Chain A
Amino acid sequence: MIELKDINKIYQVNKYNKVVALKGINLSIKEGSVVVLKGASGSGKSTILSLIAALGKPTSGEVVVDSVHISKLTDNFASAFRSKNIGIVFQKYNLISSLSVKENIILPLIPSNPDALELEKKLQKVLEMFEIVDKKEILVKNLSGGQQQRVAIARAYIDNPKIIIADEPTANLDEKLSLRFIEILRGLKQENKTIIVATHDPLFFGLDFVDEEIEIKDGHLV
């Protein structure tokens, strides 16, 4: 269960300029559901995602995930929360292009100083799942857009998080690849993951497995 209560978020650009990103957001997302956040770019979708992922803190209001007030967590606990519960697929994939596929995917495991065998096992599983086994040692910058996308999902998935967040996941993909990504999401839904996708891509609208579509405009829920 994810709840956002009376969220306001103001970015202080500089001394004189403020940008109000979110105004009085109230939102709740059930466990295991798939939610699509719709809205033009700059509407505040990404900000909501970063609050749910405990990457940022609201100016006022509370974010509660599984009855944990994550907006109040200290850095250590926010990171622990993220690595345990959240997998993020970014708009531009946010892979480190000069690292190999393997090195990118294992990033979330590094802080826990994992055992080599256990790490290989987890890695093999996601490589197979997202059909990139043969790309394991290849540098990310030499991959196509669709392949990079799958590496990004593999990285989000490797530590088996409860919640998967995707920010404009299909912005740089053609229709065929976008549909493939949607199929991947459908598979994750069956594993009872909570999935939140922020997008303005019409392909996501009216999908059968999506539980809720929420529209955002200028920092308000519509």
Chain B
Amino acid sequence: MELKPLHIVNTQLIDGDTPRPGSLLAVDGRIAALDPTDIPDGTETVDARGQWLAPGIIDLGVFATDKPAFHFGGITRAALMPDSGPLDGAGLVERAAKGGKPDLWVHPLAAATKGLEGRELAEIGLMKQAGARAVATGRARIADSGVMRRVLSYAASLGLVTIIHAEDEGLTAGAVATDGEMATRLGLASAPAIAEAMAIARDLALVEETGAPVHFRQVTTARGLDLIRAAKAKGLPVLCGITPAHLLLSDTAIGDFRTFARLSPPLRSEDDRHACLAAIKDGTIDILSSGHDPRGPEDKRLPFAEAQPGMAGAETLLALGLGLVRDGHISPGRLFELLAATPACLLGVDAGKLAPGKEADLILVDDGTPWQVDAKKMAAWAGNTPFDGMPVQGRATMMWKGGVRIR
């Protein structure tokens, strides 16, 4: 079937800092023009009734290909972490890349080392040929500095960014929470928050040495963010990200041993949470992602320390991001830089922006409708959200991938 041109009218375009009235024309799966004057024959017209038109969300670093959740959340592209598998060979990467077809882009991230064991380089070059868009160290960092240095320079030579998990494994061994009153009261093994800054410091030194571009997937502490800020000021090729959980929750959320709030890295102190909010405001944080990691009761209905870390975040990502806008931390335009433009840039995909020539991965966003997060009624295959019961506002109402309506 031939793809009809698509004209979305009566919309608020998110192509600058604030939404502006306008319309968008997509032809052959790509954005042809904003506010077009010539409309080709046979164009399908969609009346957005004043809703926001934004680039589809590119969720960087998910742990499962969970299409219903991504579609609910307005996510058109998901960069899949290499942990399940692990994705350390070209065949596995190729299969993972096809996992979302036809209505979701899955961009696999190549395991940095064989079996993600942190010892031997994986076949990063072959995985790139098979469709891997970046390299990732997985849920843990690479402990051996020599291996890490080789990974960084090798990935850089292939033009790939290395996505890093930053926690010092010596300090965090056995820990399930951050040092503090909460962990002490609950009797949970905990690690100091500086475990993050120490890991970041080492890797920044390696970046300075090798010139390799890196992305710290989650930076969640004041000291970690200070290091990133300083590195950026020096001009190092460094990006960093965060999930809404560390912006909106502190370690008090683990009270009553709520395993849905067991995350990796663990929730931090209230001071660190405020530092994260400041960093998203001042531009230190580049990417907002869901960290989507659905976990069933077999992983979560357990004593806290035995439960697996992770949260199902894909469905709440957009609404919680809109909450940051409503609270005055960021502008709408900046939200979609965090959610789409910067991840697209990192992955090297031609999307993530409302600009002529980009792929027509689009979402309509109703930024006002209130709804309540309900762990029992999630589209994700498990409802492990730490935001259960939270009232939020805004959701994606329509989605297009390459100009084709998928929701």
Query: Are A and B genuine complex partners?
Result: no
Taking Cβ atoms with an 8 Å cutoff, the residues of A that contact B are none
